[in-house]
Amino acid sequence: MAIKRISGPLVVAEGLSSGIGEVVRLGKKRIIGEVIRIRGKEFFIEAYEDTSSLGVGEEVEETHFPLSVVLGPGMLGKIYDGLQRALDSMLSKEGIFIHGKEDYFPLDTNKKWDFYPLVKKGDKVREGQIIGKVREGNIDHFILVPLGFHGEVNSIKEGSFTVKDPICTIENKEVFLYQRWPIRKPRPYLSKLDIKSPLVTGQRVIDFLFPIGEGGKAAIPGPFGSGKTVLQHQLAKWASSDIVVYVGCGERGNEMADLLESFSNLVDSNGNPLLQRTVLIANTSNMPVAAREASIYVGITIAEYFRDLGYKVSVMADSTSRWAEALREISGRLEEMPGEEGYPSYLGSRLAEFYERAGKVKTLSGKEGSVTVIGAVSPPGGDLSDPVSQNTLRLVRCFWGLDAKLAYSRHYPAINWGISYSLYIDDLEEWFKKSVGNDYKFLREWILNTLNKSDEIQQIANLVGFNALPDQEKETLKIARLIKEGFLIQSAFDENDAYSSLKKQYIIVKAIKLLYDKEMDKILKGQKFDEIKDNDFVQTILKMKIMKDDEIEKEFEKLSYDLQRI
């Protein structure tokens, strides 16, 4: 059972009895690895930690367990690395640099939780059924029958326990507040449910133009600096989820620090810090590449677990391209036959497996829960023909394409309305009709049409000049500009603008439409474009996005009243 070869994250050993997917510990440093291929006597192992100084001849320790996460109370507000090791414990033990000296159990083992049983001795229980709950922050953290357990409850306790105290026995097997689950295996559910309601994000261009269903899947491709990360942070902060799992996969450390800091300071509508509903997974670009690959699965498994407790969960993965590069790196070391751009031929199926774990479901316990997946994609040079973008496009139903040109002119979020789409529109139409306004669909189409028309007119204007355009086209350009400045552009850094309620979104659009109708009418009746004096109206509309909800309603009434008199 010794190491024969080490080449970066790939380690080859002989004399093991492990199966594929099982965890081994390598050498004196007990580096975590996973068996990924067996060929004759040779076991190929992907090492999840830095293999520097690991030597040929060192021992391999077998665990015969698949790579798993620990699921239970105490994950909320935590920041983990790609293998679910608590980075705060690591900082206090190892200092500012990561050495990976020991195992860090993901949950606080000293903290006591008040456990209330919800089943009795003698009850028959099934896998995934709720047996009790503890209160964690602002949620009920239900305790589920672990998978593989079923039968009669022999005993169940009530009181204060740590996660390592047994609270119940089922058919003579002990149950704890936590359970383990292998990261590569989707957690089971009863059935998938249709998506009928959106994840409300408070981001105008998303909610109004390209909405995502709760339990849906979306991709955010864009070149560097186009705003993928800021958008994901915005969604993590404001989206109508109960729980957010944020996976920083191969990206910057400072972004994780920024998230932690702002989530500790921001509170939700109940006054609870946002961090309380968040689990952060940080496997930054300078941390071991192979663990990047694991981090995505760690994140989605944790998300599925909260889904199974009956919550609306969203997963942000920034960036799935870095995850794919980790796949490519390992594949290259295994000397597998490379596919396009060196990515392994199974890139597409791996991506599909990941996005397939999104969805709205009826859980084993009969509750409803959902996992919405939003993945950033970082195409080389911003060119969407790369294999990761192309494969992702086939899988997601929402596509928010970020554009360097918009970003360069500081039009944020730089979502290009020409290439973006949402395939949830029809599923969500009813919901929007009821919750926003009967004319939602009409207004949405009007905006998109106006933007598209103005893009065409702009091309002509670029050749002949604005002054040479007919008045109607001038008006369209002006209104499109107002849509951009007053509606689409949304600053993540302005406290009044960062989140926009649906009501506010609707009113702004109504206001712009009202102005347009009025002015177009006048132009059609022969008034000159240059003679329309509407600066006050425009200024009011431009200010709407930073108004409070009650304020904006009054402004809108005033505006419609004033518009009628001109």
Partner 1 sequence: MIYKEYSNITQVDSSLIFVEGLEAPKYNEVVKIFSNLGSLEGQIIDASSNISVIQVFGNMLGLDPKSVRILPKGKPYSIKLNEELIGRIFNGRFYPIDNGPSIIKGEEYDVNGYPINPYARETPNSFVETGISVIDGLITLAKGQKLPLFSGSGLPHNKIAVQISSQAKVSDNTLIVFGAMGVNSDEARFLINEFRERGLLRKTVSFINLASDPSIERILLPRIALTTAEYLAYEKGYDVIVILTDITNYCETLREISSAKKEIPGRRGYPGYMYTDLASIFERSGVLKGKKGSITQIPILTMPQDDITHPIPDLTGYVTEGQITLSRRLHKLGIYPPIDILSSISRMMNNAIGKGKTREDHSSLSSQLFASYSEYIEVSRLMELVGEGALSEDDLSLIRFGRKFEKEFINQGFNERRGIENTLNKGWEVLSEIKPERLTRLKQEFINKYGKWNKE
Ligand X SMILES: Nc1ncnc2c1ncn2[C@@H]1O[C@H](COP(=O)(O)OP(=O)(O)O)[C@@H](O)[C@H]1O
Give 11 or 230: the residue with its C-beta nearer to ligand X: 230
Give the separation between CA 210 and CA 145, rounded to whole angstroms: 39
Give 134 or 377: the residue with its C-beta nearer to Mg ion: 377
Residue 247 structure tokens: 């996976």
345 binds, among ligand X, partner 1, Mg ion, none (CB under 5 to 8 A by kind): none
542 binds, among partner 1, Mg ion, ligand X, none (CB under 5 to 8 A by kind): partner 1
Give 175 or 377: the residue with its C-beta nearer to Mg ion: 377
195, 284, 297 from 426: Cα distances, Å: 10, 38, 31
Residues whose CB falls within 8 Å of the CB of residue 360, separated by 6 or more in sequence, listed in order: 192, 193, 194, 195, 213, 214, 215, 368, 369, 370
Contact 178, 70 (CB under 8 A): yes
Counting Cα atoms < 13 Å in the Cβ hemisphere of 90 gives 21
Provide the minimum distance between the beta carbon of 226 and ligand X in the complex, in angstroms, as a whole number: 4
Give 229 or 241: the residue with its C-beta nearer to Mg ion: 229
Stretch binding Mg ion (CB under 5 A), from 226-234, 391-399, 469-477, 526-534? 226-234
Give 199 or 287: the residue with its C-beta nearer to partner 1: 287
Among 197, 229, 320, 422, binds Mg ion (CB under 5 A): 229
Count of residues that bind Mg ion according to CB under 5 A? 2
Give 214 or 255: the residue with its C-beta nearer to ligand X: 255
Provide the minimum distance between the beta carbon of 414 and Mg ion in the complex, in angstroms, as a whole number: 12
Give 197 or 331: the residue with its C-beta nearer to partner 1: 331
Give 494 or 536: the residue with its C-beta nearer to ligand X: 494
87 binds, among Mg ion, partner 1, ligand X, none (CB under 5 to 8 A by kind): partner 1
Helix (H) or strand (E) holding 124: strand 124-125
Give the separation between CA 144 and CA 167, rounded to whole angstroms: 12
Contact 117, 175 (CB under 8 A): no
227 binds, among ligand X, Mg ion, partner 1, none (CB under 5 to 8 A by kind): ligand X
Give 228 or 307: the residue with its C-beta nearer to Mg ion: 228
459 binds, among Mg ion, partner 1, ligand X, none (CB under 5 to 8 A by kind): none
Provide the minimum distance between the beta carbon of 503 and ligand X in the complex, in angstroms, as a whole number: 21
Provide the minimum distance between the beta carbon of 280 and ligand X in the complex, in angstroms, as a whole number: 17
Give the separation between CA 272 and CA 34, rounded to whole angstroms: 39
- Output the residue with the shortest Cβ distance to Mg ion: 229
| Site residues for ligand X per CB under 6 A | 222, 224-230, 412-413, 490-493
448 binds, among partner 1, ligand X, Mg ion, none (CB under 5 to 8 A by kind): none
Contact 391, 347 (CB under 8 A): yes
Give the separation between CA 398 and CA 427, rounded to whole angstroms: 13
Contact 362, 328 (CB under 8 A): no
Provide the minimum distance between the beta carbon of 200 and ligand X in the complex, in angstroms, as a whole number: 17
180, 182, 283, 301, 553 from 185: Cα distances, Å: 12, 6, 21, 8, 49
322 binds, among ligand X, partner 1, Mg ion, none (CB under 5 to 8 A by kind): partner 1
381 binds, among Mg ion, ligand X, partner 1, none (CB under 5 to 8 A by kind): partner 1
13, 50, 55, 167 from 4: Cα distances, Å: 5, 17, 9, 45
Provide the minimum distance between the beta carbon of 220 and ligand X in the complex, in angstroms, as a whole number: 8
Residues whose CB falls within 8 Å of the CB of residue 39, separated by 6 or more in sequence, listed in order: none
Provide the minimum distance between the beta carbon of 75 and partner 1 in the complex, in angstroms, as a whole number: 15
Q: 30-42 b/e with 16+ CB inside 10 Å = b?
A: bbbbbbbeeeeee
Contact 532, 522 (CB under 8 A): yes
Stretch binding Mg ion (CB under 5 A), from 228-236, 283-291, 465-473, 533-541? 228-236
Q: Is the peptide bond before 413 cis (omega within 30 degrees of 0)?
A: yes
Q: With CA atoms as reference, report the closest residue to 242 among 210, 212, 205, 269.
A: 269
408 binds, among ligand X, partner 1, Mg ion, none (CB under 5 to 8 A by kind): partner 1
Provide the minimum distance between the beta carbon of 232 and ligand X in the complex, in angstroms, as a whole number: 8
Give 109 or 409: the residue with its C-beta nearer to partner 1: 409
Give 40 or 57: the residue with its C-beta nearer to partner 1: 57
Give the separation between CA 433 and CA 418, rounded to whole angstroms: 24
258 binds, among Mg ion, partner 1, ligand X, none (CB under 5 to 8 A by kind): partner 1
Provide the minimum distance between the beta carbon of 78 and ligand X in the complex, in angstroms, as a whole number: 24
Give 463 or 531: the residue with its C-beta nearer to partner 1: 463
Provide the minimum distance between the beta carbon of 289 and partner 1 in the complex, in angstroms, as a whole number: 6
Give 193 or 498: the residue with its C-beta nearer to ligand X: 498
Q: With CA atoms as reference, report the closest residue to 293 among 353, 367, 222, 207.
A: 353
Sign of CA dihedral 173, 175, 180, 186: positive
Sign of CA dihedral 29, 251, 300, 492: positive
Provide the minimum distance between the beta carbon of 230 and ligand X in the complex, in angstroms, as a whole number: 4
Provide the minimum distance between the beta carbon of 151 and ligand X in the complex, in angstroms, as a whole number: 50
Four-CA torsion 416, 410, 405, 512, nearest 10 degrees: 40
DSSP-assigned states of every residue in 255-307: HHHHHHHHHHH-B-TTS-BGGGGEEEEEE-TTS-HHHHHHHHHHHHHHHHHHH
Residues in the chain: 566
Contact 280, 260 (CB under 8 A): yes
Residue 143 structure tokens: 């305790």
55 binds, among Mg ion, partner 1, ligand X, none (CB under 5 to 8 A by kind): partner 1
Contact 559, 511 (CB under 8 A): yes
Provide the minimum distance between the beta carbon of 307 and partner 1 in the complex, in angstroms, as a whole number: 26
Is 321 one of the binding residues for Mg ion (CB under 5 A)?
Answer: no
Stretch binding Mg ion (CB under 5 A), from 51-59, 223-231, 350-358, 462-470? 223-231
Q: What residues make contact with Mg ion under the rule CB under 5 A?
A: 228-229
